[in-house]
Amino acid sequence: MTDTTTITKTVFFNASRDTVWSFLTNKDKLAKWFHPAKADLAAGEEYALIRTTDDGKTVPLIWGRVLEMNAPDKLVYTFVIDPFGGAETTVTWILEEAAGGTRLSLTHEGVAEAAGSATMRLLLALDDGWDEHLDRLRKSLT
């Protein structure tokens, strides 16, 4: 049986897997297409993507722990946002060589378990958000 609440995306980039990997894990490059990070992502370590409030404070927007880093093939981390009430979801990135560039597959699992009755609202928001961020990643890589 297929989980109908798993978000999956596949995109192609005219860039090497090493280059795409750096945009998934380097704090300065994450800020260009996703959100600013407190530090580079590291295996087994916690991470936080941050936003700056109107009064200049930095607060966590997305946080979790890096579960697996196999450069430049696979990155897996937990993904927590305020609407999840502390519950963790999991994001998996798979990078494959494709026609001289990179095929990137994203899987975001566990949203229904984390969101409860707000599942559809959050699935729609996350689905749209991933589309926007992946488009920004494509533009950042050109």
User: Domain segments of the chain: what residues?
Assistant: 7-25+68-140
Tell me what pLDDT residue 1 has: 47
Say if residues 86 and 108 touch (Cβ distance below 8 Å). Answer: no
Return the CATH class of domain 7-25+68-140: alpha beta
Classify the phi-psi angles of 27: left when phi > 0, otherwise alpha if psi is within -120 to 50, otherwise beta. alpha
Q: What is the mean pLDDT of residues 24-30?
A: 98
Q: What is the mean pLDDT of residues 6-33?
A: 98
> In this model, does residue 2 exceed pLDDT 80?
no
pLDDT by residue (tens digit) across 99-126? 999 999 999 999 999 999 999 999 999 9
Cis-peptide into 72, omega within 30 deg: yes
Provide the percentage of residues in the chain whose pLDDT is more than 70: 99
Cα 35 to Cα 77: distance, rounded to the nearest angstrom: 15
Tell me what pLDDT residue 142 has: 86
Rg (CA), the chain: 15
Q: What is the mean pLDDT of residues 54-81?
A: 96
Tell me what pLDDT residue 117 has: 92
Tell me what pLDDT residue 130 has: 98
Residue 15, classified by CB atoms within 10 Å of its CB into exposed (0-12), middle (13-18) or buried (19+), is buried
